[in-house]
Structure 1
Amino acid sequence: MAKTETDITSPKLPSPDAERKKMERKKALKESLTGYAIISPWLIGFFFLILGPIVASFYLSFTDYDLLSSPNWIGFDNYINILTNDPRFRQSLTVTLIFVFVSTPLKLIFALALAMLFNTGRKGTGFFTTIYYIPSIIGGSVAIAVVWRIIFGRNGAINDILTTLGLEGMNWIGNPDTALTVLILLVVWQFGSPMIIFLAGLRQIPTELYEAASVDGANKLQTFFKITIPMLTPVIFFNLIMQTIGGFMIFTQAYLITQGGPMDSTLFYALYLYETAFEYLRMGYASAMAWILLLIIAAITLLLFKSSSRWVFYESEGGR
């Protein structure tokens, strides 16, 4: 049968399914664009303030760069010099490791002890929890660092107390044997943040476990080590990771209180990195130091994760 002129010239209309799919694609595209528009400030900040500097520092770590002239490519010379020919690097790393491995356990012990005390549900515990959390908010500020330097100075409150007790005071900050201890005490004093996390973890432990232990005749010490600690190990692990990473990045306290002295006894890694970059203008060298620090933190974090399978108990997995 021959086609009519109308059949030849009339356009083929799209099917209802094709039209519906086209509308759905337009709607999905519009929603995607709206979503990207909403998060665009974060994306801009991520690429220009985080990812960009990371890539730039990685490149600069292989160069000789002083901020005033163009970077000069020198390969692995910065890394080789840091690891083989820089005694201050070894000193800063040693001081930082001592600080981390002493302050972190002490902070977690104090935080857990206070969390146990505030978990009793007695009247007023919320107020005291807030009071003890305040040092974590203001502890890293310039004002607190200055106050701490005054308290532990030769004419500070600590020496006044010792004199009242008939003991001889000393220059706590100016003595290489005690300067690091002063900074450790300052950081341990800021135990509020892990304390709040411990308190939240304690309140998630089922009370039925304590009731069963009481029926079996377990005392408080046995209950603590057999119930509280095992059930709290995921929270302990989280706090341990966060406080360890934070310990490696300590800077403000040492910069304001001791300036790395005396005799580099408080020369933390971050402080030495800052001096190298902005006082000596060795930006390439400092960038290499930053990447070495990243690798050190990553290695220690990996070791902690590997060890967690032996001591961290996850109730949902029946323990590990």
Structure 2
Amino acid sequence: MRLRNHLTGYLFLSPWLIGLFVFTVGPMVSSLYLSFTEFDLFRPAQWIGLENYRNLFLHDERFYQSLKVTFFFAFISVPARLIVSLLAALLLNQGLRGIGLYRSVFYLPSLVGGSVGVAVMWRQIFGQDGILNVLLGRLGLEGKVWIAHPDYAIYTIILLGVWQFGASMVIFLAGLKQIPEHLYEAAAIDGASRIRKFTHITLPMLSPVIFFNLIMQTIGAFMVFTQGFVITKGGPMDSTLFYALYLYEKGFTFFQMGYASAMAWILLAIVAIFTALIFSSSKMWVHYESGNGGR
């Protein structure tokens, strides 16, 4: 009877288990093997050991440029999006008339922000004859070729990343709804200002939500691809050559699948390290109601 119950359970789990092993575990194992081979899709893979990793770290300057661009994007866009989404959540947490409509409007960019269509729109806005330069011209200011200038192109993509704050905003809004109102009432009786309420009640109570958003946004920032591919193609002068974009170029433009697989595993290691660092630091700043800190 126990065996039958177990078999019944695994039968219901089988679609998920098949998907896990066929579409996740299997490709990961295959990718790990290919990272030690020379493989171009047209000929059988040839084992070359650590040669792909050696070439990446010792001879590939564009590999380091892609890391530099991706790190810069992550370190600027993630904190900026967290701040903007938190401020928007605080604003939308007020009991205003028509607040549901405002929430929907603020969330809309996250629904379409990662699409190719929005990336094309962004390219038009910041192009030489885009709407931004038209508006600057009417103000008597000289516009820039924003997406074609190596000093400005990366900031246009960062701005697009920050504009997609809706998902984080909704999570912050849910966290704000869970903060007991009596805490603010007690603070008001003690004469606490709005700033003190925010720093001593709102932020500590929201720290688990901030932690979650930080983890998810950091992972997403390291995997950014569509914006760089559609808006700038990694240019100008590799100033927007994101890591995922360079990986795609190696794999699907030059068909160096073994090389691209090695890059993928390095990216996995980088994301794992940063995630572990964030988890380790959470003990010092994430507060739960149980009082166990980040544990």
Q: TM-score normalized by structure 2?
A: 0.97
**Alpha-carbon RMSD:** 1.1
Counterpart position of 1:254: 228
- The partner residue of 1:316 within 287, 290, 294 is 290
Deviations along 1:95-140, one digit per CA (max 9) or x if unpaired, are 0000000000000100000100111122211211111111111101
- CA–CA distance in 2 between the matches of 1:87 and 1:107? 30
Q: Does 1:99 align with 2:42?
A: no
- The partner residue of 2:8 within 34, 37, 52 is 34
- The partner residue of 2:101 within 109, 113, 127 is 127
> Shift of residue 318 of structure 1?
5.0
One-letter amino acid matched to 2:23: L
Counterpart position of 1:85: 59
Identity in percent = 58
Counterpart position of 2:273: 299
> Shift of residue 36 of structure 1?
2.7
Instruction: Structure 1 unaligned segments of length 5 or more: list them.
Output: 1-24
One-letter amino acid matched to 2:105: I
Tell me, yes or no, if the aligned pair for 2:235 and 2:241 is still in contact at 8 Å: yes
Counterpart position of 1:152: 126
Deviations along 1:220-265, one digit per CA (max 9) or x if unpaired, are 1111111111111110011000000000000011101100000000
One-letter amino acid matched to 2:107: Y
Paired residues for 1:229-240 under 5 Å: 229-240=203-214
Counterpart position of 1:276: 250
- The partner residue of 1:168 within 125, 139, 142 is 142
> Shift of residue 48 of structure 1?
1.1
> Shift of residue 49 of structure 1?
1.0
- The partner residue of 2:44 within 70, 88, 98 is 70
Larger radius of gyration: 1
> Shift of residue 46 of structure 1?
1.3
Counterpart position of 1:181: 155
- CA–CA distance in 2 between the matches of 1:318 and 1:281? 50
- CA–CA distance in 1 between the matches of 2:136 and 2:96? 36
- The partner residue of 2:262 within 277, 288, 292 is 288
One-letter amino acid matched to 2:231: I
- CA–CA distance in 2 between the matches of 1:178 and 1:194? 26
> Shift of residue 47 of structure 1?
1.1
Q: In the superposition, relative to structure 1, how do residues 178 and 319 fare at CA in structure 2: closer, same or farther (>3 Å)? A: same
SS of residue paired to 1:316 = coil
Counterpart position of 1:11: none
One-letter amino acid matched to 1:314: Y
One-letter amino acid matched to 1:78: N
- CA–CA distance in 2 between the matches of 1:82 and 1:317? 45
Tell me, yes or no, if the aligned pair for 2:284 and 2:293 is still in contact at 8 Å: no
- CA–CA distance in 2 between the matches of 1:83 and 1:213? 55
Counterpart position of 1:138: 112
One-letter amino acid matched to 2:79: P
One-letter amino acid matched to 1:243: Q
One-letter amino acid matched to 2:276: L
- CA–CA distance in 2 between the matches of 1:137 and 1:45? 26
SS of residue paired to 2:148 = coil
- CA–CA distance in 2 between the matches of 1:55 and 1:318? 38
Tell me, yes or no, if the aligned pair for 2:39 and 2:45 is still in contact at 8 Å: yes
- CA–CA distance in 2 between the matches of 1:41 and 1:164? 59
Greater than 4 Å deviation, 4+ residue runs:
none
Instruction: Structure 2 unaligned segments of length 5 or more: list them.
Output: none
- CA–CA distance in 2 between the matches of 1:31 and 1:139? 46
SS of residue paired to 2:114 = coil
Counterpart position of 1:227: 201
- CA–CA distance in 2 between the matches of 1:318 and 1:49? 38
- CA–CA distance in 2 between the matches of 1:84 and 1:319? 42
SS of residue paired to 1:34 = helix
- CA–CA distance in 2 between the matches of 1:145 and 1:261? 15
Count of residue pairs brought into register by the alignment: 294
